[in-house]
Amino acid sequence: MNDQNSIVEFRGVSKVYPNGKKALEDFNLTVHPGEFICFIGTSGGGKTTALRMINRMLESSSGQVLVEGKNIMDQDPIDLRRHIGYVIQNIGLIPHMTIEENICLVPKLLKWPAEKRAARARELIKMVEMPEEFLQRYPHEISGGQQQRIGVIRALAANQKIMLMDEPFGALDPVTRQKLQELVHYLQKDLKKTIIMVTHDMDEAISLATRIVIFDNGHIIQSAPPQEILQHPANDFVRDLIGEERLNEAQVTLATAQSVMLTRPISTTAEISLEKALAKMNHHHIDSLIVVDGDQHLIGELDIAQVIAHRNKLDLRVADIMGPAPQTVFDTDLLSSVYQIIIKRRLKYMPVVNHDRQIVGIITRSSLAKVLYDYVWGQEELEHERSDRHD
Amino acid sequence: MKEVIGMISFLNEYGSDLLLKTWEQLYISLISLGAGIVVAVPLGILLTRFPKTAKVVIAIASMLQTVPSLALLALMIPIFGIGKFPAIVALFIYSLLPILRNTYIGMEGVDPVLLDSAKGMGMTGWQRVWQISLPQALPVIMAGIRLSAVYLIAWATLASYIGAGGLGDFIFNGLNLYQPDLIIGGTIPVSILALLTDFLLSKLERRLTPVNLREEGEDDEN
């Protein structure tokens, strides 16, 4: 059962520290080339342990870790580490080496010729938009954000395919952090690096990761793309970790028409008389009816105004006077786009259809109001909590 | 004027002898110091790999340090006889502790984060010692060497007692003959030698200090 398409794979890995603490238990994870994995969770949850096992900075108590299909225990740890990029929070640039020497550390260990190393250093510093003169400076002569940018490019100087990052941007201010996030995003997206990053910043994980792996107590709680985690948090732990605010926001921005529509809309067939249609409207306290055929396909719309106009001929059939079918949305459409259409066109409601174009529900202005209310109400709840804490 | 004339006549009488003794003093100290560095620095580095042994070894070195210097010199006589060699051995033993302890502390004091990232990038143990720990620990190691150097130059005076020569000859002669000029004439060169050595070593220390640990304004001296 060798997954040919994996670049890093954990197979039933456990790690027990000498003091008996279990950092990881029966941990399984397959990382595919080009993925951006974020490990997130409580401290002591095992995320850093798992990360450091990939380049044998820690060794598993049982189970196997495979890098590019090969068991890492069969490889020389020194050689393994030289082929995996490693970035840590405190940067770890060597203070008595110039920026160039720092960038070329691994290429030098791999015995690249001097000209090739120098060319690589110039190429990389250009990539992070820093002047070439910086190559001759020492780490303490450049800013913290610049140092960490060097830390990041140092980890790929020898064309490493995999980059491990342990809370790389935790100590940086928000503006600098964002720039670095853009850089690593570029590395993954355009240079096709496989990045595995430990972070405690949920926003960072959501914006960068192609998959978020949530840790608690040495176990994976959930492993899924950010959208899925936001929409379907596995349990309360994940919900807490994401935070009420983000969940509410996600509910609005990521919710689909299906999640808020009213199911079983009041509809009618085209064959019944106006009298019966009017009775139906009255019974359900509504002012219009959607008209469907036998297969639940939308064929038209009957408004109370049309009925009034024909109030003397109530024996007519609906089909004789109904208007054209109103605009519809798919049940998988994002609520945000539905919302825009309803507001801009001043529609009272929109029928929701599935991909066979059958009616499955409707969204009314009042259902939007409810979503918005839930969102605002959720926010206020948080505000209250916050002000409570200040008191 | 009188003092100047006195000094000139002293130098006339003892000048060449003074130079010879100063030279003896210097080379006894420097040979012991050199031997101390050659033994204590690698030992200190090695000990960082065996923290438990390190405690024992440093305790032994501290114990040797507490033996009175004159007694240590005297103890050398039954083993090595008299002359320069036993003096050098005794001084060498004294040089060990400050250098050993500072090497150990300096190496241990290197930022673990730095070593972790170096290891994570695939540096071997010795590469980390040579390229990271040692350069970062050099200022502390150098401080130990300077301390040893000043002590050894001062204590080498006592070596005259076991027939090693040096400026101690002047001082002890002065004591025996009640001739203060001999005592002063021997003491001043010792102090000058100690200060000069300390100064030169401090220059060396600055050159060896990694750029990140240098204080402001020192950069332009190079």
> Rounded distance, CA B51 to CA A83, Å?
31
pLDDT recorded at residue A308? 86
> Rounded distance, CA A266 to CA A261, Å?
13
* Domain boundaries of chain A, sorted by first residue: 8-243, 259-369
Q: Where are the alpha helices (DSSP H) in A113-173?
A: 114-127, 144-154
pLDDT digits over B38-78, tens only? 999 999 999 888 888 888 888 888 888 888 878 888 888 88
pLDDT digits over B69-116, tens only? 788 888 888 888 888 888 888 889 888 888 999 999 999 999 998 999
B210 shares contact with chain A (CB less than 8 Å): yes
* CB-CB contact of A194 with A156 (8 Å): no
> Rounded distance, CA B36 to CA B42, Å?
10
pLDDT recorded at residue B102? 92
B118 shares contact with chain A (CB less than 8 Å): yes
pLDDT recorded at residue A379? 54
Chain B: give the shortest CA distance to residue A82, in Å: 5
Q: Where are the alpha helices (DSSP H) in B178-216?
A: 180-208
Q: Which two tokens stand for residue B217?
A: 């304004």
| Inter-chain CB proximity B120 and A96 less than 8 Å | no
* CB-CB contact of B180 with B174 (8 Å): yes
Share of chain A residues as helix, strand and coil, in percent rounded to the nearest 5: 45, 25, 30
Q: Which residues of chain A have pLDDT under 50?
A: 1-2, 389-391
> Rounded distance, CA A348 to CA A262, Å?
14
Q: For residue B1, what pLDDT band results from cuts at 50, 70 and 90?
A: low
pLDDT recorded at residue A118? 93
Q: Above 70 in pLDDT, residue B134?
A: yes
Q: Which two tokens stand for residue A200?
A: 């405690």
pLDDT recorded at residue B218? 45
| Inter-chain CB proximity B117 and A88 less than 8 Å | yes
pLDDT recorded at residue A108? 93
Q: How far is CA B157 from the centre of its chain?
A: 14
| Inter-chain CB proximity B117 and A92 less than 8 Å | yes
Q: Which of B118, B120, B136 sits opposite A55 (nearest CB)?
A: B120
Q: Which two tokens stand for residue A119?
A: 């060319």
Chain A: residue whose CA lies nearest to B210: A96
Query: Which has more confidence, A342 or B201?
Result: B201
Q: For residue B24, what pLDDT band results from cuts at 50, 70 and 90?
A: confident
> Rounded distance, CA B56 to CA B62, Å?
10
> Rounded distance, CA A27 to CA A46, Å?
10
> Regarding the domain delimited by A259-369, which CATH topology (the fold level of the hierarchy) does it fall under?
CBS-domain (3.10.580)
Chain B residues with CB inside 8 Å of A79's CB?
122
Angle, helices A244-254 vs A335-344, to 10°: value is 60
What is the distance in angstroms between the CA of the first residue and the CA of the last residue of chain B? 42
Out of A19-28, B3-12, B14-23, B76-85, the most confident range is A19-28
Give the sheet arrangement for strand A349-353, strand by strand. A262-263, A359-364, A349-353, A329-330
* CB-CB contact of A94 with B114 (8 Å): yes
Of B165, B147, B169, nearest to B98 by C-alpha is: B147
Q: Judging by beta carbons within 10 Å of its beta carbon (0-12, 13-18, 19+), is residue A23 exposed, middle or buried?
A: buried
Q: Which two tokens stand for residue A78?
A: 């020194």
pLDDT recorded at residue A1? 46
As a whole number, the mean pLDDT across chain B is 84
> Rounded distance, CA A295 to CA A297, Å?
5
pLDDT recorded at residue A381? 54
> Rounded distance, CA A255 to CA A335, Å?
6
What chain B holds in terms of domains, given with CATH numbers, is: 2-211 (1.10.3720.10)
Chain B: give the shortest CA distance to residue A118, in Å: 19
* CB-CB contact of A40 with A213 (8 Å): yes
Q: Where are the alpha helices (DSSP H) in chain A?
A: 47-54, 77-82, 99-103, 105-109, 114-127, 144-154, 174-189, 202-208, 226-231, 236-242, 244-254, 257-260, 274-284, 304-309, 318-321, 335-344, 365-390
B139 shares contact with chain A (CB less than 8 Å): no
Residue with tokens 């019974």: A283
pLDDT recorded at residue A111? 93
Q: How many helices (H) and strands (E) does chain B have?
A: 9, 0
pLDDT digits over B168-198, tens only? 888 888 888 888 888 888 888 888 888 999 9
CA angle B188, B189, B195 (to 5 degrees): 95
| Inter-chain CB proximity A139 and B121 less than 8 Å | no
Residue with tokens 């609520």: A335
pLDDT recorded at residue B219? 45
Residue type for A4, please?
Answer: Q
pLDDT recorded at residue A250? 74
Looking at the structure, give the CATH architecture of the domain made up of residues A8-243: 3-Layer(aba) Sandwich (3.40)
pLDDT recorded at residue B217? 44
pLDDT recorded at residue A383? 54
| Inter-chain CB proximity B136 and A86 less than 8 Å | no
Return phi, psi of residue A352, to 5°. -110, 130
Chain A: give the shortest CA distance to residue B143, in Å: 19
